[in-house]
Amino acid sequence: MSTQNRLPENKMGVMPLTKLLINMSLPMIIAMLVQALYNVVDSVFVSWYDPDAAVTALSLAFPVQNIMIGFATGIGVGVNALLSKSLGEGDQKTANRAAGNGFFLVALATVIFALFGIFGTGAFFNMQPIDENKELVVRYGTQYTSICCIFAVGIFVEVLGERLLQASGRTVYTLVTQGTGAVLNILLDPLFIFGVEWLGIPPMGIAGAAIATVTGQWVAAILALIFNLKCNPEVNFRLRDMIPSKRVIGKILTVGVPSIIMVAVGSVMNFSMNQILLGIDPTNAATKVFGIYFKLQSFFFMPLFGLNNGTVSIVAYNYGARKPARITGTLKRSCAIALCVMIVGLLVFQLVPDLLLDIFNQSDAVIQIGRTALRQISWAFPMAAIGIALTAGFQGLGNGSYSTIISLCRQMVVLLPAAYLLSLSGVVTRVWWAFPIAEVFSLAVSLLLFLRIYNRKIKPLSE
C-alpha cells in the first residue's frame, strides 16, 4: 500500500515504550482489578447467604462461567490482533471487516450459550459427585449458571467493544465500561441476594447474584457500544462489514481459537480438579478451598491479563509496521512488570493466608486446608508471570497456537496427572504441589517457543 494511502501512525508506533505500555495497559489493569474485586464480592455475599451449598455451587459453576468468558475473550483477542495489525499496515478496509465479523461471531456464540443455559445446566450439575447437600447445590448452581448463560450477550458485546477500543489505543474508555459494570454488580449483589423490603425487592438468593452479574455486563456492553460509535473514528461500523468473510473470520480465529482453547483447557482443568478433590475429600472442604483460591488469585492474575491486552495490541501493531525493536522492548517490559506483580502475590499468599480465607465465612476445617493450599500453590506465581507475559507476544505475532501448547502443558499434560498421582496418597494437602510442578515445565516450554518465534518472525524484520 502506498504511503499516501496510509493512515497517520498512532501512538503505538511512536510513543516511548515504557510510557506506551503503561498508557495502553493501566486502564485495563485497573478495570481487571475491579473485575476481580466484584468476583470476590460476589462470592463473599453468597457465602453470607449460605457458606456451604452456595459456595460449593459457585465453585462448581466456575468452569462454565469461565469458558463463556473465554469465548468472549477469544473472539475479542482475535479481532484485536487483526485490527491492530491492519491499522499498523494502513489497511482500513480489513480493519472495518474485522470489527464487523467480530460482531457476527459474537451473535453466533451468544446463541450457543443461551441454548446451553436453557437445556444443559441441570445435567451439568447433576453429574457432579457431590455427597453433602447435593439437591441444594444442584438447585443453586443451575439457577446461577442458567441466568448467566441465557443472558450472555452482555459479556460478549462488552468484551468485543472493549477490544475494539483497545486495538485503536483508546484503552481509557475500557476502564469506564468495566469499572461501571463491576461497581453496579457490587451494589446490586446485596440488594438482589438478600432483598430490600422498602424498595420492593424480594430476596432472590443465588439467582439474585446472577441477575446482578448480567445487569452489570449489559450496562458495560451498552457503554462500550456508545464509546465505539462516538469516540473511535478508526473503526467504521457498517452492516455490510458484518457479512461473514471466510478470509477475515479465518484470521480472527487463527488468534482467537487458541485463546478460547486456553480458557477451555482451564475450565476442563478446574472441572477435573474438582472431581479429584471431591474423591479425596467428600466433605467438599477442599472443593470450597479450590473455588476460593481462584477468586483470590484473580487479584494478581487479572492485572497480568490486562497487561497482556495492552501488549498484544502494541506487538501486533509494530509487527505490521515492521519495527522489531519495539516488539522485543515491549515484551521485556511486560515480563518485568508481570514478575513484580506475581512476587507481590507470592508474598501475600505466604504471609496472610488466614486473613484472606476469613473473608469467606468458612469453617476451621476449610481454613486449615486453605492455608496450606494458598502457600503451596503460590510458589508457582513467579514462573507463571513470565509464561503469561510471553503468550501476549505469541498472540500479537499471529502464533496463538503457541499459547495453546503452553496452556495444554501447564493444565492438562502436567497438572492433572500430577494432581491425580499426588491424590493417591490420600493426603489432600499434597495435591496442591501439582501447580508449581506444572509451572516449571510450562515455563521451559514457553522459553523454547519464544526462541523459535524470535528467530522466525522478529529477527528477520531487522534483516
The enclosing H or E element of 97 equals helix 92-119
Give the tens place of pLDDT for each residue, 153-207.
Answer: 999 999 999 889 877 778 788 888 988 888 898 899 999 999 988 888 999 999 9
Q: Are the C-beta atoms of residues 345 and 304 closer than 8 Å to each other?
A: no
Per 3-state DSSP, what percentage of the chain is helix, strand, and coil (rounded to 5)? 85, 0, 15
Q: Which domain holds residue 435?
A: 15-462
Residues found in the chain: 463
**Cα radius of gyration rounded to whole Å, the chain:** 22
The contacts of residue 14 (CB under 8 Å, 6+ apart) are none
Type of residue found at 323? K
Distance, CA of 296 to CA of 28 (rounded, Å):
19
Q: Which residues contact 326 (CB under 8 A, 6 or more apart)?
A: 13, 17, 314, 318
C-alpha cell at 279: 474423591
pLDDT digits (tens, 9 = 90+) for 247-305: 999 989 888 887 787 777 778 888 889 889 988 887 778 888 998 898 899 889 888 88
- Residue 127, phi then psi, degrees to nearest 5: -80, -5
d(CA 80, CA 256): 9
**In the structure grid, which three cell numbers stand for residue 278, read together?**
471431591
Tally of CB atoms within 10 A around 362? 21
pLDDT one-digit tens code per residue, 315-337: 888 888 788 888 889 999 999 99
Residue 330: strand, helix, or coil: helix
Element (H, E) at 300: helix 285-320
Q: Domain for residue 224, yes or no? A: yes
- Residues 461 and 315: their CA atoms lie apart, in Å, by 13
C-alpha cell at 261: 482453547
**Residue 134: how many CB atoms within 10 A of its CB?**
16
Residue 205 lies in a domain: yes
Residue 2 lies in a domain: no
**Residue 314 backbone phi and psi in degrees, to 5:** -65, -45
Q: How far apart are CA 144 and CA 195, in angstroms?
A: 17
CA torsion sign, 382 to 388 to 394 to 400?
A: positive
Q: How far apart are CA 295 and CA 288, in angstroms?
A: 11
Q: Is residue 65 part of a domain?
A: yes
Residue 357: inside a domain, yes or no?
yes
* 34, containing H or E segment: helix 17-49
Nearest CA to 450 out of 352, 345, 334 is that of 334
User: Any idea what DSSP says for residue 127?
Assistant: T
Q: Which residue has the cell 483497545?
A: 166
Domain count, the chain: 1
Of 463, 432, 439, nearest to 280 by C-alpha is 432
**Global confidence as pTM:** 0.74
SS3 assignment, position 196: strand
In a domain, 7, yes or no: no
pLDDT 10s per residue in the chain (463 long)?
Answer: 344 444 455 677 777 787 888 887 787 787 677 767 766 777 888 888 888 888 888 878 888 888 888 899 889 888 988 887 887 777 888 888 999 999 999 999 999 999 999 999 999 998 887 766 788 989 999 999 999 999 999 999 999 998 898 777 787 888 889 888 888 988 999 999 999 888 889 999 999 999 999 999 999 999 999 999 998 888 877 888 888 899 999 989 888 887 787 777 778 888 889 889 988 887 778 888 998 898 899 889 888 888 887 888 888 888 887 888 888 899 999 999 999 999 999 999 999 999 988 888 778 888 999 999 999 999 999 999 999 899 888 888 877 778 778 878 888 889 999 999 999 988 888 999 999 999 999 999 999 999 999 998 888 887 6
In a domain, 5, yes or no: no
Q: Residue 50 and residue 260: Cα distance in Å, rounded?
A: 32
Q: Is residue 358 part of a domain?
A: yes
Task: Extract the C-alpha cell encoding 383.
Answer: 514462573
Taking the C-alpha atoms of 108, 109, 111 and 112 in order, what is their torsion angle to the nearest 10 degrees? 120
Distance CA 107, CA 433 (A): 41
The count of other CB atoms within 10 Å of the CB of residue 155 is: 27
Query: What distance in Å separates the CA atoms of residue 98 and residue 81, rounded to the nearest whole number?
Result: 9
Residues facing 53 on adjacent strands: none
Cell of 137: 447445590
What are 128's three cell numbers? 457432579
Contact by Cβ (8 Å): 96, 168? no
